[in-house]
Structure 1
Amino acid sequence: MLSAAHWQQLRQHGDRLAATPLSALMAAEPARAGTWALRVGPIHASFARQRIDDAAWGQLQSLATGAGLAKALAALFDGEIVNPTEGRPALHSALRGDVGRGEPARAAAAEARAGRERVDALHAALAQGPVTDIVSVGIGGSDLGPRLAVDALRDFHDGRFRVHFLTNVDGSAARHLLADLDPGRTAGILVSKSFGTQETLLNGGILRDWLGGSERLYAVSANVARAEAFGIAPDRVLPMWDWVGGRYSLWSAVGFALQLAIGHDGFARLLEGAAMMDQHVREAPPARNLAAWHGLFAVWNRNALGAASHAVMPYDQRLALLPGFLQQLVMESLGKSVRLDGSPVPVHTVPVLWGGAGTNAQHSFFQALHQGTDILPADFIGVVRPAHGFDDNHHALLANLLAQSEALANGAPSDDPHKRYPGGRPNTLFLLDELNPYSLGALLAMYEHSVYVQSVLWGINAFDQWGVELGKKIAGELLPAVAGDAEPSDPVTRALIAEIRSRR
């Protein structure tokens, strides 16, 4: 693991560059726009507006070497135990290709292929019946990835099924969704690895009752017995595996709803795009590796420049759900304060990730980005070729994308302090040739691997999430109190429940 001295050297580079205008870095390096750019498949990435120079980049590369990044990436792909607190590999890459060389990876890839055959069979059977609407019930990783992809790839829906998502345990969500559907033409998919997720079971029960039974309910779960007890026949239960975390599971049968929306071929292209990125990340050295670059710059902004927040702004409405997806991927994976050996992490880990779709976001929070006291690094994501023919709109969208990236980095002087733009806001800009299943797969896989790169440098586990368990445990203990059958021990909670009871 990296020592405190390693991190001190990195901070020294950050201190050295803290007051250097990004425009000065550009002036000192005329070829910077090309030097600090990478092209991988359908993605062009420009890091030219990051506050870094060759000396600082060399230090980051030294950190990657010292942390054993290349070996750690091989361990991930080959199926070694990279989740030691649960004794598991993390083989989401095996869901989409054969980049892994170890026996665990090969076995996982074979299981994934068999799982896809079962998905195809159930897809074909559904297509022969009266069903026109699919309700996917899940939460967290069982919802965010499929929901993002179904929305982002709306131009590739084949029209056979309309796909809807039911997530929140708030009964209002179920009431309003089901009010617009016909139970005679609807099927449901319950997605839960344990088949014990409270929100999914409660919403699944509402859906089962509304359908009049479980004959058109499907499940994606590792617990077939629980799904069967719920009323779902084993032949309608698709597999999940303990070597895939929920937030990395879009590529598995968790994406069943997505395949129903975009078809077998569309889903296959999504997997191909992700597999292409896997191959790149496996084979490219850190010095020319897109996921490594993104992860290293994230560490640089967090630990050398002290940025506690990171914004993601997709300039394509179809990617409006991307920031929400990345919140879970990044913050659940990297929200750790102890290293793999249980010792405290000597530096700050995950920044708060947030964002919104441009140009809407420009009219909400961009004031803080441009003139606020905190410097907030950002990812901008644009699409070169749209799926519509409204050229004037797309030209305006791209102009705003480029302008905001430039303005945040360079700023603008003014004699009026209220109209002064300080600039110096580092940002990365991604351009997708177009938004399709292949490019979306590549983009999401890049972010997955960037998260792992960051975890390797910080020496933390990117694949457990013990921090979310305590609230669930307490909620379960409080259910009897909320129902009026018990009294909580915590005095503040007791007072709040008394207030709830008084207003019923």
Structure 2
Amino acid sequence: MRRCRCDHTPAWGALRALYDTQGRDFDLRQAFSADVRRFECFSLQAPHVFADLSKNLINVAVQDQLLELAHQCGVQAHRDAMFRGDVINTTEQRRVMHFLLRYPATGLADAAQGATKNLTKELGQVHATLSVMLTYADMVRHDEGITDIVNIGIGGSDLGPQMAVLALDEFVAQNKRFHFVSSVDGHELSQVLRQVQPESTLFLIASKSFTTLETMTNARSAKAWFEAKGGRDIARHFCALTSNVEAAREFGIGTTFDFWDWVGGRYSMWSAIGLPIAIAIGPERFREMLAGAHAMDEHFRNEPLERNLPVRLALLDVWYRNFHGFGSRSVAPYHSGLRRMQAYLQQLEMESNGKRVDEEGQALPYATSPVIWGEPAANGQHAYFQMLHQGSDVIPVEFIAVKKVSHSLPEHHHKLLANALAQSRALMLGQQDAGGHRHLPGNRPSTFLLLDELTPASLGAIIALQEHRVFVTGSLWGINSFDQWGVELGKVLAKDMEQRLDSGNADGLDASSAGLLKKLRAK
């Protein structure tokens, strides 16, 4: 399908005019004083996630025009094409169907009439694979001889599973320890291997092609360590999450779980790549996570744009990036379990939408993905919040808080939530100081996302929310959010450099690379 790029719509010019007349000097404090219903007007409940958007630099006129932009760009048609199974990853000629990984088994019976009417074959394959994978996960979970699970993968094969296992610690099997190895830096793998024993460790090798440089280097080293330590039965202690079954078999692995080319790496935690999550929290809880994500899928697919949370968040992102010129967004989760959320969202958004050409290959005249960054916010308050309050750049902040917790230290959570509310309010209000040093300008925007509890279902929902948000911003910008050609050149040059480090041959290199090569090879 052919889309209409945002800057080719009448709404784009109307938004520019609104920014010049209302947006540039918009004051949140005045907006709240003028409208006692602002919180109700700019709040939204989605499955498992409540969103307060009222502390953002928008009014009704801007919101309406942003929604008109989404209509004029054909966001709904693009969304429907994805859910239909059309080829929307045009540079790789692939469908984009991670939503199918969480479509419930109960939908198989009525799929011929439902949203997946063209995808009954694929849906059957999804549930067949899921069933086998969860059976294996349950077997490992109850195998007292396996105490350590080491996931070896990188990018989407590491960030999603690691983030989810940490977030769902309350539900994780207490007789298992989980380790994640991604970097080719040997310090990381060595540190893990010092903590485990071959007879009680299961290695999960997560690589779609079974050729990923970092993953396979770590996998071969893990196998060599296993054998050198007297480990026996590679088939029992190694499992592969891959489409290249033959290569896994040559490695010595007999247990493999496949996934499909319509599953992008950064959208793959719902597939076999999620095996460490399933082992950690068990099959029932894993299905709950899928159900939470599916609930958000249905919200995105069915709700009108004005009540559609992924759409509303994406429109804010465009408003800030392309009209206010804000270059980054800080994610501030007030829950230690979400301490890897920022890293996960960095890949999801920056790898998806860090593009400078549209789907036709034409250079874009506007900015795309902002920089996503942050820390668990209790720590962040004593690190980078100074810049958020008084720095020269305005940086929108996305707070994530959880109403109920599982620990028995209520006073701690009371203080944590108080800090989250206070920081959001302080960013908006600011502080006057004639001397200047204590002056905080205020009027700094934030979004507040609230979960009742951090459960498999709510985690699934908030991750699916972020996936669809990225889809919408990419759709508005007219880019392909589902390829990642920018990571390929470095991989090609790394192979060349590895040979040069062996040989010392600097022919054809620039002076800097040649000089560094010489330094690295010096005795």
Residue 223 of structure 1 is aligned with which of 236, 241, 244?
244
Q: Does 1:109 align with 2:123?
A: yes
Aligned equivalents of 2:373, 2:390: Cα separation in 1: 18
Contact 1:277 1:445 in 2 (8 A): yes
* Residue aligning to 1:7: 12
Deviation at 1:72, TM superposition (A): 1.2
Aligned equivalents of 1:501, 1:8: Cα separation in 2: 57
AA partner of residue 240 (structure 2): A
Aligned equivalents of 1:349, 1:357: Cα separation in 2: 25
Q: How does 1:164-175 map to 2 (within 5 A)?
A: 164-175=179-190
The alpha-carbon distance between structure 1 residues 258 and 494, as it changes in their structure 2 partners (threshold 3 A), is same
Contact 2:299 2:308 in 1 (8 A): yes
Q: Which moved more, 1:169-178 or 1:102-111?
A: 102-111
* Residue aligning to 2:111: none
* Residue aligning to 1:189: 204
Q: State how many pairs are aligned.
A: 501
Residue 146 of structure 2 is aligned with which of 131, 149, 155?
131
Q: Which moved more, 1:492-501 or 1:97-106?
A: 97-106
SS in structure 1 of the partner of residue 426 of structure 2: helix
Aligned equivalents of 2:348, 2:220: Cα separation in 1: 28
Aligned equivalents of 1:103, 1:224: Cα separation in 2: 30
Which deviations, in whole Å up to 9, do the C-alpha atoms of 1:329-363 show, x marking residues without a partner?
00000001111111122321111110111210000
* Residue aligning to 2:133: 119
Residue 224 of structure 2 is aligned with which of 209, 220, 225?
209
Residue 79 of structure 2 is aligned with which of 73, 93, 118?
73
TM-score after normalising by structure 1: 0.97
Q: Which moved more, 1:316-325 or 1:22-31?
A: 22-31
AA partner of residue 474 (structure 1): L
Aligned equivalents of 2:137, 2:507: Cα separation in 1: 47
Q: Does 1:348 align with 2:375?
A: no
AA partner of residue 59 (structure 2): D
Residue 88 of structure 1 is aligned with which of 94, 99, 107?
94
SS in structure 2 of the partner of residue 247 of structure 1: helix
Aligned equivalents of 1:223, 1:26: Cα separation in 2: 57
Aligned equivalents of 1:226, 1:451: Cα separation in 2: 34
Deviation at 1:489, TM superposition (A): 2.1
* Residue aligning to 1:307: 326
Contact 2:504 2:518 in 1 (8 A): no
Deviation at 1:488, TM superposition (A): 4.9
Which deviations, in whole Å up to 9, do the C-alpha atoms of 1:138-192 show, x marking residues without a partner?
0000000000000000011122422111111000111111101111100100001
Which deviations, in whole Å up to 9, do the C-alpha atoms of 1:27-54 show, x marking residues without a partner?
2221011111111232110000010011
Contact 1:380 1:401 in 2 (8 A): yes
* Residue aligning to 2:516: 496
Q: Which moved more, 1:389-398 or 1:220-229?
A: 220-229
SS in structure 1 of the partner of residue 400 of structure 2: strand
Contact 2:47 2:299 in 1 (8 A): no
AA partner of residue 415 (structure 1): A
Aligned equivalents of 2:148, 2:466: Cα separation in 1: 31
Contact 1:91 1:108 in 2 (8 A): no
Q: How does 1:312-323 map to 2 (within 5 A)?
A: 312-323=331-342
Q: How does 1:305-454 map to 2 (within 5 A)?
A: 305-454=324-473
Deviation at 1:445, TM superposition (A): 0.3
* Residue aligning to 1:47: 53
Q: Which moved more, 1:376-385 or 1:94-103?
A: 94-103
Q: Does 1:242 align with 2:248?
A: no
Aligned equivalents of 2:371, 2:243: Cα separation in 1: 31
AA partner of residue 516 (structure 2): L
Residue 287 of structure 2 is aligned with which of 262, 268, 272?
268
Aligned equivalents of 1:144, 1:493: Cα separation in 2: 31
Which deviations, in whole Å up to 9, do the C-alpha atoms of 1:100-126 show, x marking residues without a partner?
724554333222111111212322443
Aligned equivalents of 1:287, 1:436: Cα separation in 2: 27
Contact 1:21 1:410 in 2 (8 A): no
CA RMSD of aligned residues (A): 1.5
Q: Which moved more, 1:125-134 or 1:293-302?
A: 125-134
AA partner of residue 362 (structure 1): Q
Q: Which moved more, 1:334-343 or 1:409-418?
A: 409-418
TM-score after normalising by structure 2: 0.93
Which deviations, in whole Å up to 9, do the C-alpha atoms of 1:71-92 show, x marking residues without a partner?
1111111211110001111100
* Residue aligning to 1:150: 165
SS in structure 2 of the partner of residue 134 of structure 1: strand
Deviation at 1:424, TM superposition (A): 1.5
Aligned equivalents of 2:494, 2:78: Cα separation in 1: 37
Aligned equivalents of 1:396, 1:71: Cα separation in 2: 45
SS in structure 1 of the partner of residue 381 of structure 2: helix
The alpha-carbon distance between structure 1 residues 229 and 310, as it changes in their structure 2 partners (threshold 3 A), is same
Which deviations, in whole Å up to 9, do the C-alpha atoms of 1:174-231 show, x marking residues without a partner?
1111101111100100001111100000100111112226321100111112212222
AA partner of residue 191 (structure 1): A
Aligned equivalents of 1:383, 1:311: Cα separation in 2: 18
Q: Which moved more, 1:487-496 or 1:76-85?
A: 487-496
Give structure 2 stretches of 5+ with no counterpart: 108-113
Contact 1:80 1:104 in 2 (8 A): no
Contact 1:132 1:161 in 2 (8 A): yes
* Residue aligning to 1:290: 309
Contact 1:12 1:304 in 2 (8 A): no
Contact 2:138 2:279 in 1 (8 A): no
Q: Does 1:482 align with 2:482?
A: no
Contact 1:380 1:427 in 2 (8 A): yes
SS in structure 1 of the partner of residue 331 of structure 2: strand
Q: Which moved more, 1:270-279 or 1:75-84?
A: 75-84
AA partner of residue 202 (structure 1): T
Contact 1:312 1:356 in 2 (8 A): yes
Aligned equivalents of 1:408, 1:421: Cα separation in 2: 8
Deviation at 1:408, TM superposition (A): 0.8
SS in structure 2 of the partner of residue 399 of structure 1: helix
Contact 1:77 1:105 in 2 (8 A): no
AA partner of residue 17 (structure 2): Q
Aligned equivalents of 1:477, 1:119: Cα separation in 2: 38
Aligned equivalents of 2:499, 2:14: Cα separation in 1: 54
Which deviations, in whole Å up to 9, do the C-alpha atoms of 1:396-434 show, x marking residues without a partner?
100100011111122122222111111121110011001
Give structure 1 stretches of 5+ with no counterpart: none
Deviation at 1:129, TM superposition (A): 6.0
Contact 1:330 1:451 in 2 (8 A): yes
